Amino acid sequence: MKILVAIPVYNEKDNIGRMINSVLSLNGSESAKKPNHSISLLIIDDNSPDGTRRIVKEFMDGQKDEAGVSGASGGGGSESGRLFLIEREKKMGLGTAYTAAFNFAVEKGYDYVLTMDCDFSHNPEEIAGFVSLMETEKCGMITGSRYSGGIRIINWSMKRLLISYFANIYAKLVTGVKISDLTGGFNMYDVNCLKKINLGGISSRGYAFQIEMKYRMVKEAGCSFKEYPIIFYERTMGKSKMSKGIIFEAFFRVIKLRLGLYR
């Protein structure tokens, strides 16, 4: 099982080093020690002005030194060992970042892609739970849920919690996709199912992408899914990317999906 963990970043210098260590150290866990199990990490950086990209490259240089080989670069990406980097010239949005990651996984022959945030709101240690459930269920998608079986969100204001909770109810009712956390970003996808959807037609740039992606996996690709309960932690370092524009995009994207106004 070849797993690619994909993390879009923008100004995450305070978190990126710890995240790289946390994800790649999972290769020493019991689940990754099984035959043909491996976890790689792909960082998609939108030209962060705070030096995030430089930190990633320093880790990559360290891997090259340990392996005694030189990395490869080109076509907007660089790689070394199990750490990869896609460098983009400007801030292009969450949706296009993940689409680039999905295409990367298809081209490089990965079996699964796991998406998550860089700010530790998603606990890297829970990746093992996703992998274990995927081995058991063999489904097309596992969605990390903050709301399945109760609310598991740490340190959010009541206002933000209510907006998120009712936004998910709204998205679920309008789209007809019976997933309790349609807006969550901690998810695992079977690459064979990703091949069944039109990745080039995904137009959502912000968190509406999470809704569109789950809708396409269920309605367009016809893939099965399971929900995996997670705990969501509010970031303690760095700045949130949430904005009113992102919220409005998600509101109207749900309607367009229901009306079939997508490619």
pLDDT digits (tens, 9 = 90+) for 81-117: 899 999 999 999 899 999 999 999 999 999 999 999 9
State the DSSP H helix or E strand holding residue 233, giving kind and residue range, or none if neither.
strand 232-233
Would you state the structure tokens that stand for residue 223, as one six-digit string?
């893939």
- Give the pLDDT score at 240: 57
User: What's 129's DSSP letter?
Assistant: H
Distance CA 228, CA 226 (A): 7
Q: What's the whole-number mean pLDDT along residues 219-233? A: 96
CA dist 94 and 84 (Å) reads: 18
Which pLDDT does position 33 carry in this prediction?
Answer: 61
Residue 71 has pLDDT above 50, yes or no: no
Question: CB burial class (10 A; 0-12, 13-18, 19+) of residue 30?
Answer: exposed
- Dist. CA 141–CA 187, nearest whole Å: 7
- Percent residues over pLDDT 70 in the chain: 87
**Among 164, 169, 260, 174, which residue's Cα sits nearest to residue 216?**
260
Cα–Cα distance between 80 and 69 in angstroms, integer?
Answer: 9
The answer to whether 233 and 190 are in contact (CB under 8 A) is no
pLDDT grade for 74, boundaries at 50, 70 and 90:
very low
Cβ atoms within 10 Å of 157's Cβ, excluding its own: 9
User: Cα 83–84–88 angle (5° rounding)?
Assistant: 145
CATH class given for the domain over 2-258: alpha beta
CA distance 65 to 71: 10
- pTM score, two decimals? 0.89
pLDDT digits (tens, 9 = 90+) for 136-148: 999 999 999 999 9
Q: Which of 261, 101, 124 is nearest to 194 (CA)?
A: 101
Residue 206 DSSP code: S
